[in-house]
Amino acid sequence: MPRLSSAARLAAALLLTVLLAPAAFAVGHLVELDIVDRDSGEVLPVYRHEGRHYVAGRPGTRYAVAVRNRTGERVLTVVSVDGVNVVNGATASWHQSGYVLAPWQRYEIIGWRKSVKQVAAFDFTSLGDAYATRTGRPAQVGVIGVAVFREHRPEPPPLAPQWSESERREAPAAADAAGTTAARSAPAPAEKLGTGHGRRESSRVTHTGFERAQPQPDEVITLHYDSRENLVALGVIPSPHPAPPRPFPDSPDERLGFVPDPPRRR
Q: How confident is the model at residue 159 (pLDDT cuts 50, 70, 90)?
A: confident
- Res 182 pLDDT > 50: no
Between 17-26, 106-115, 153-162, the lowest mean confidence (pLDDT) is in 17-26
- Res 188 pLDDT > 70: no
Residue 26 confidence (pLDDT): 83
Compute, in degrees rounded to 10, the torsion defined by CA atoms 59, 61, 115, 137.
-10
CA distance linking residue 43 with residue 64, whole number of Å: 9
Side-chain half-sphere CA neighbours of 13 within 13 A: 7
- Phi and psi at residue 71, to the nearest 5°: -115, 170
Q: How confident is the model at residue 19 (pLDDT cuts 50, 70, 90)?
A: very low
Q: What is the mean pLDDT of residues 85-99?
A: 95
Q: What is the mean pLDDT of residues 115-124?
A: 94
**Burial of residue 106 (number of CB atoms within 10 Å: 0-12, 13-18, 19+):** middle
CA distance linking residue 40 with residue 55, whole number of Å: 15
Tell me the domain boundaries of the chain: 21-153+192-233
What sign does the CA torsion over 71, 152, 214, 217 have?
Answer: positive
Question: Who has greater pLDDT, 103 or 260?
Answer: 103
Cβ density class 196-210: b for 16+ within 10 Å, e for less: bbbeeeebebeeeeb
Q: How confident is the model at residue 9 (pLDDT cuts 50, 70, 90)?
A: very low
Q: What is the mean pLDDT of residues 114-126?
A: 94
| Radius of gyration for the chain, computed over Cα atoms and rounded to the nearest angstrom | 28
> What are the helix (H) ranges across the chain?
6-20, 131-134, 165-170, 228-233
Q: What is the mean pLDDT of residues 51-59?
A: 94
Residue 21 confidence (pLDDT): 42
Between 57-71, 122-136, 162-176, the lowest mean confidence (pLDDT) is in 162-176
Residue 242 confidence (pLDDT): 66
Residue 256 confidence (pLDDT): 55
* Strand partners of residue 64: 36
Residue 65 region by backbone torsions, left for phi larger than 0, else alpha for psi between -120 and 50, else beta: beta
Q: What is the DSSP string of 213-253?
A: SSSS-SEEEEEEEEEHHHHHHTTSSPPPPPPPP-SSTTS--
Residue 157 confidence (pLDDT): 74
Antiparallel, parallel or unpaired: β 52-57 and 219-227: parallel
- Res 162 pLDDT > 80: no
Whether the model pTM is above 0.75? no
- Phi and psi at residue 138, to the nearest 5°: -80, -10
Q: What is the mean pLDDT of residues 116-136?
A: 95
